[in-house]
Structure 1
Amino acid sequence: MKKGDEVEIIAGRNHKGKRGTVLAVNASKGTVIVEGVRTLKKAVRPTEQNPEGGIQEINGPIHISNVKKVG
């Protein structure tokens, strides 16, 4: 599996059956980040680039055994 592949989530109570594109692969941890699946909310401190700070939505990792390549 590599960045840009189209995948389907095959396990997991909340995300099973969803499809998306792989944004990143972490081989050492055995996880992938899939676009639009497992969206997490993260509190961010104000910085020069983001002076407002606040809550930011990010894509969370999914174990590689819980996804299958489509097509």
Structure 2
Amino acid sequence: MSKVHVKKGDTVLVLSGKDKGKKGKVLKVIAKKGVAIVEGVNMATKHQKPSPKNPQGGIVHQEMPLNTSKLMVVCNKCGLPTRIGHTFLADGTKVRTCKKCGEVLDSK
């Protein structure tokens, strides 16, 4: 399993591709593939047949996975895209921190 620097619930900035510059919240991370699904980014049009779950059918817009290398975490405190640092707290737990302001990114 490869390590990824983003987690579910993080706010991220897209660095490259057709959605460059867009911000969104991470909905799901698939670490084995190294991809994440970001809210409102990399939208695809899908044509669905009517089914018991969706009796109307029709055209549905949904988010598609993005490679995590194209994403940069946005700090909650300073609001800037930042690299991730790791710090050990007094109780010995390892947390992710903002490289720009030092704020802890992991919420308890």
Instruction: Return the TM-score normalized by structure 2.
Output: 0.63
In structure 1, list runs of 5 or more residues that go unmatched.
none
User: What's 1:57 paired with?
Assistant: 61
Is 1:33 aligned to 2:37, yes or no? yes
Partner of 1:67: 71
Distance (Å, rounded) in 2 between the aligned partners of 1:15 and 1:51: 32
* Pairwise CA distance, 1:25: 0.3
Structure possessing the higher relative contact order (Cα contacts under 8 Å, 6 or more residues apart): 1
Distance 2:50 2:65 in 1: 25
Find runs of 4+ consecutive structure 1 residues off by over 2 angstroms: none
What CA RMSD, in Å, does the superposition of the two structures yield over aligned residues? 0.7
TM-score, with length taken from structure 1 = 0.93
Q: Percent identity?
A: 44
Structure number with greater Rg is: 2
Aligned residue pair count: 70
In structure 2, C-alpha distance between the alignment counterparts of 1:5 and 1:21, rounded to whole Å: 6
